[in-house]
Amino acid sequence: MSEKILHSYSGIFDTPDEIIHAAEKTVEAGYTKFDVNTPYPIHGMPKAMNLEPSKLGYAALVFGLSGTLTALFVMYWMAAIDYPITVGGKPFFAFPKYIPIMFEVTVLAAAIGTVSTMLFFFFKFPNNAHPLHDTSYMKKVSSDKYGLIIQADDPKFNEDEVKVFFASLHAKDVEPVYYDMEDINASPKIYDKKFIGGLALTFILVSGITYFTLNKLMFMVPFNWMMYQDKLTVQEKSSVFPDEFGVRAPVAGTVARGFMPYEFPNEPELAGEVLLNPLVPTEKNLALGKKKYDTYCSPCHGDFGDGDSRLRGQFPNPPSLHSEKVRNWSDGRIFHVITMGQNIMPSYSSQLTREEKWATVLYVRALERSKNAKESDLK
Amino acid sequence: MSSSQSNVDYQHKPLPSSFTKIGTALLAIGLIIVIIGYFIDPTRAAFNNLILLMFLVSIGLGSLFLVGIEYLGGAVWSTPFRRITEFLASVLIVIPIIAIPVYMHMHDLYHWTHNEAVQADKLLKGKEPYLNLEFFTIRIVVFLLIWLAFYFLLTKNSKKQDTSKDQGLTKKNIKISAIFMPFFALTITFSAIDWMMSLEPHWFSTIYGVYYFSGTMLAALAATTYLLIYLNERKLLFKGLNQDHYYSFGALLFAFTNFWAYIAFSQFLLIYYANMPEETFWYLARWEGSWIVFSIGLIIVHFVVPYFGLLSQPSKMNPKRLKFMSLWILFAHFYDLYWLIMPTYNKEGIVFGWMELGFPLLAVGIVALMFGLKANKQNLIPVGDPKLIRGINFRL
């Protein structure tokens, strides 16, 4: 056993009024290093103890403002400088929409910063020992009593005087509080080998289990839930065929069911001569043609085929569909352009079926007719 | 409790005569300017009259709310100052008189009162079942009756308690306050919608009532804080009033400054973000011409200055600072109402002249005079209230 050192004298009171009175008297008696412990905050205590307002507010202010500015800078830099994206038609640096986030980050930074300051600066973390811990005094004041201590390092402290002083306050259970120098000098409990070992073990277990689950377990039957199967998917190598292609080309001379290949991929003039429109201009066919034209053709050719693109010059505008040349083309020639594309215009085979292409041709014919009507149309 | 009642060392003294004199003078000057204003430019005067009306509703109804919430919450710290809020609530008695000129100039103020305009406008026609003169009149009369009824009920019981010391009256008032609260919430929302939001009948904002309420609370708290410090400096209240009482009012003013900013910004952000033409035009109107200066000024006057003025703990306890900030907040609330109402009168820019000065003078005069009349007749603290002693001994 090492030597016991006197930390303070403690006294117990029964009511909040008594403790307020005791605190006032202690201040009057000139003690400066004393403290009051109560089970709950008592109104008027800061004044009775003559406490200065806490300086913690300044830490909150500094941390809060740094949060505000960090949020503002981060959003400004990301959204207006490094990777500008238009969101909701707003300017890149749209201050109003930043305010809620600035507010949130302010609160977060202020809260975390204030608590950390309190722990590390005022409570001297990781030191977690205090002479009052594990005393009968602390047990009483954490349930239903009100306690006052006068510390031994107070300049006015004198053991006998303090005892008399406590008696004059009618304090109960006046007793000294001792502490071990060893306890104070001992390294904090969190550097304990067992604690560190426990932390390391937890770390290894958690990361090991996570690694096993995500990298091994998920590939075992039945935990993979049939996610991975033996069939080949796109871009995978085949071990069966010598050329190792997983996706096979069709057998020469065959076509897939329901698929009709285009007969004249490289012969536009021949297509114009040979192909005939199988559709008649009924209301239904024209409506289908209009729908497809408005969806796929109008973005570049314009709603009425004038070549007035809605894309505002992001692509070269196509020529008008009302030109002499196009009007003199046969239906099959236009069908060829839709199927194979022309100049910068791509093929529309994957978007339109044969029937839809012919319907679109009908609608283009109707558009041409509307601008260059024959005299007989007026009758 | 009855034994401790006798401990209250209170003698009723009248207010300094300068208080009512200044009040009367302001009232007289204001009234003259207002009457001249009505002769020269009735439309402009009517718009200013509407600001005056809403300002007085803020003080009167906000104070009545403070009285009610104190009973309902069982608040102890504010009991010694309940009389100040009760006297301020007496402004409600004047409200019907102030509302009459507004009612007489309905056609100048409200676009939706023009029948031919309503018939030509699909949107207004859809709103016609609510926005029509008959229903409007009924609503306003009902609101005024509700406010006056609760004002008289609450203050009558409170006054009776001074002599009878009957604790049952507190219980009675708690019940009345509980009934008052839902009525308060509905009437303040719909009066703000009827009197102010319907100035722009095409525009709508569901948070408008809360926005007006936040300003109301600030105005009522600021007026109470100012008068509390004024009375205490002249030793007209009780002994033992200390910084903890001041701090509570300072903290409430600070809290509601933030509440106002929160609500105002919520309203703005939603409209800004959705960017729908039927909503944004209201803000655009306040962003054109010299109104842009006024709108930016609103942020500074109503939020930045009170926020930093009341941020630190000592500033919430310092009577000088509190006095200045409460007057500032009253000014800010007037500024806010001007910002809400006047852009409808003149779209081009700010209108400011002698007429805009006359109405605030009249407002201050009315509040001072109503307060003075009540304060000279009644005790300045509720001497019969069972919570009084605990309120006086309140410590943080």
User: How far is Cα A273 from Cα A295, in angstroms, rounded to an integer?
Assistant: 28
In which band, very low, low, confident or very high, does the pLDDT at B86 lie, cut at 50, 70 and 90?
Answer: very high
Per-residue DSSP letter, A155: T
Name residue A328's amino acid: N
Nearest to A99 among B265, B314, B394 (CB): B265
What does the pLDDT read at residue A184?
A: 67
Q: Helix or strand or coil: residue A61?
A: helix
Which amino acid is present at B26? L
Distance from CA of A115 to the nearest CA of B (A): 19
Residue of B nearest to A87 (CA): B273
Greatest Cα-to-Cα distance within chain B, rounded to the nearest angstrom: 72
Does residue A91 belong to the interface with chain B, where contact is any CB pair within 8 Å?
A: no
A97 touches chain B (CB under 8 A): yes
Interface test with B, best of A20, A24, A43, A65 (most B CBs within 10 A): A43
Rounded distance between C-alpha atoms, residue B316 and residue B250, angstroms:
4
Q: Is B277 exposed, middle or buried (0-12, 13-18, 19+ CB in 10 A)?
A: exposed
pLDDT at B5 over 50: no
Q: Compute the distance between CA of residue B166 and CA of residue B158 in angstroms, rounded to an integer.
A: 10
For chain A, 379 residues long, the average pLDDT of each consecutive 10-residue run is: 78 91 91 91 86 86 95 94 86 91 96 92 78 87 91 88 90 87 68 88 97 91 82 86 87 83 84 86 91 90 84 77 87 90 88 90 90 79
Q: Please tell me the distance from the alpha carbon of residue A305 to that of residue A314, in angstroms, as a whole number.
A: 18
The dihedral formed by the CA atoms of A107, A111, A117 and A122, expressed in degrees to the nearest 10: 130
Shortest distance, CA B74 to any CA of chain A (angstroms): 17
Instruction: Count chain A–chain B contacts defined by CB atoms under 8 A.
Output: 27
Which residues in chain B touch residue A47, judged by CB atoms under 8 angstroms apart?
244, 395-396
According to the model, what pLDDT value does residue B323 have? Answer: 95
The CATH superfamily of A268-372 is Cytochrome c-like domain (1.10.760.10)
Q: Which of A44, A97, A100 sits opposite B396 (nearest CB)?
A: A44
**What local confidence, expressed as pLDDT, does residue B3 receive?**
40
Name the minimum distance, in Å, from the CA of B86 to any CA of chain A: 27
pLDDT score, position B191: 95
What is the distance of C-alpha A350 from the center of its chain?
38
Q: Is A312 on the interface with B (CB under 8 A)?
A: no
A169 phi/psi in degrees, rounded to 5: -85, 0
For residue B266, the chain A residues in CB contact (below 8 A) are: none
Long-range residue pairs from B287-292, CB within 8 A, at least 24 positions apart, any chain: B288/B347, B288/B348, B289/B347, B289/B348, B289/B349, B289/B350, B290/B348, B290/B349, B290/B350, B291/B343, B291/B349, B291/B350
Based on its alpha-carbon atoms, the radius of gyration of chain A, rounded to whole angstroms, reads 43
At A189, is the secondary structure helix, strand, or coil?
Answer: helix
pLDDT at B2: 40
Domain locations in chain B as residue ranges: 11-392
CA dist A17 and A24 (Å) reads 11
Of A47, A53, A97, the CB nearest to B273: A97
> What's CA B77's distance to the chain center, in Å?
22
Residue B208 scores a pLDDT above 70: yes
- Which of B395, B389, B394 lies closest to B4, judged by CA? B389
Handedness of CA B146, B149, B152, B154 (dihedral sign): negative
CA distance A293 to chain B (A): 31
Which chain B residue is nearest to residue A20, measuring alpha carbons? B395
Q: Which residues pair with A4 in a beta bridge?
A: A180
pLDDT reading at B22 higher than 50: yes
C-beta of residue A286 within 8 angstroms of C-beta of residue A363: yes
pLDDT tens-digit series, residues B255-307: 999 999 999 999 999 999 998 988 999 999 999 889 999 999 999 999 999 99
- Contact with chain B for residue A41, Cβ under 8 A: no
- Among the partner residues B265, B312, B395, nearest to A47 by beta-carbon distance: B395
Q: Which of B110, B94, B109 is nearest to B57 (CA)?
A: B94
Distance in Å from the first CA to the final CA of chain A? 123
* Partner-chain contact B269 A47, CB within 8 Å: no
Exposed/middle/buried for residue A298 (C-beta within 10 Å: 0-12, 13-18, 19+): middle
B265·A88 Cβ contact <8 A:
no
CB within 8 Å: A89 and B275: yes
**Which residue in A44, A47, A88 is closest to B275 by CB distance?**
A88
Kindly report the nearest CA distance between residue B268 and chain A, in angstroms. 9
- The contacts of residue A6 (CB under 8 Å, 6+ apart) are A152, A159, A176, A177, A178
ipTM of the complex: 0.81
B319-345 and B208-233 helices cross at what angle (nearest 10)? 140
